[in-house]
Structure formats: C-alpha cells, structure tokens
Amino acid sequence: MTLYRWFICMVAVMTLVACNEEEEIQKWIDSVDQLRTQVQEAMDKTPYQQEQQIKFKNYFGEIEQKALSLKDDEKVVKFFNEFVAKRDLGAICSKLFIAKIDWQKIMKGCTRNRFFLCSEEVRGYPDIVLAIRSRLIPDQQKRFDEIPACRDII
C-alpha cells in the first residue's frame, strides 16, 4: 500500500469516527431536550408527586452525567467542543438547559419547611451547568457568556 493510499484510508476512518461522535452528541442533545420539556411541563404541578420527582431526576441526572463525562474524558471534551463550534450555541443551550427562573421555581417547590424533597441533582444544577461550561474552549466560553439562551441559565 502506498503512503498516499494509507493516508486516504486514515482520513476516511477519522471522518467516520468524527461523524459517529457528532451523531451521538446530537442524539444526546435531542434526548435531553425531551427530558427538559417534561420537566417544564411538570414544574407547575405542586406539590411535587413521584411522577414529577422522576422527571426531575431523569433530566438533572442526565445533565450531571454529561458533566462528569466531560470532566473525566478528554476525548469527549474534544468532540463536544468540535460539535459546539460547528453549531448554534444558543440553540444548543435552549435544548439542554432550563432557565434560571425555572430552576428557582423547581427549587421552591422542592423545599418544604426547610426540608429538601427532590434529588440532589436538582440542587446542584448551577454547579453542573458551570462544570459543562468550564470544559468548553475559551472562545466557546466567551460565546456562552454572551448568548442570552446560555448566559441566563446560571
């Protein structure tokens, strides 16, 4: 095999890997968007029952898991940053995150007589968002801070 053919084969393999990673990230974003929608529908029904608690745990837990994978795996960070760089960050934030005011409303509904009744992921949401933001490259962090759909969640 000539060096040229080897190079072409390697480029093709790298392209397939990158496409697969982008597809996985997009699937994750779409999945979180569905969970986020369920949370927004459930947050007004107080006092929170088991059904709402499950929806909150599913959404906030999924966001927390992504933050952990970004913290622990540089390869995931690389692909996530490449994905974000090619797309509308405001649209990504709108699909991934709930607004700060909505989170505060959920927190109020989760607190009764000084007792916190929801999963800990709910309480830790601002830290989770900041952890995801911190794994963006500096240019993307700057964009995150400037775009209202991203900035207004923390």
Q: Could you tell me the pLDDT band of residue 3, with boundaries at 50, 70 and 90?
A: low
Q: Could you tell me the pLDDT band of residue 46, with boundaries at 50, 70 and 90?
A: confident
Percentage of residues in the chain with pLDDT exceeding 90? Answer: 70
**pLDDT of 16 above 70:** no
Predicted local confidence at residue 20, as pLDDT: 82
What is the mean pLDDT of the segment spanning 87-92?
96
d(CA 154, CA 151): 6
Q: Token pair 């830290």 is at which residue?
A: 127
Predicted local confidence at residue 102, as pLDDT: 96
Percentage of residues in the chain with pLDDT exceeding 70? Answer: 88
Predicted local confidence at residue 59, as pLDDT: 97
- First-to-last alpha carbon distance for the chain, in angstroms, is 54
What is the mean pLDDT of the segment spanning 24-37?
96
**pLDDT of 140 above 70:** yes
**pLDDT of 138 above 60:** yes
Residue bearing the bigger pLDDT, 2 or 43: 43
Cα Rg, the chain, nearest whole Å: 18
Q: Measuring CA to CA, which residue among 137, 57, 68, 66 is closest to residue 95?
A: 66
Cβ neighbors of 98 (< 8 A, separation 6 or more) are: 36, 39, 40, 59, 106, 153
Q: Could you tell me the pLDDT band of residue 70, with boundaries at 50, 70 and 90?
A: confident
Q: Measuring CA to CA, which residue among 37, 61, 40 is closest to residue 119?
A: 61
Range of the domain at 27: 3-151
Predicted local confidence at residue 114, as pLDDT: 85
Q: Token pair 């499950």 is at which residue?
A: 54
Residue 98 is classified by DSSP as -
Name the domain count of the chain: 1
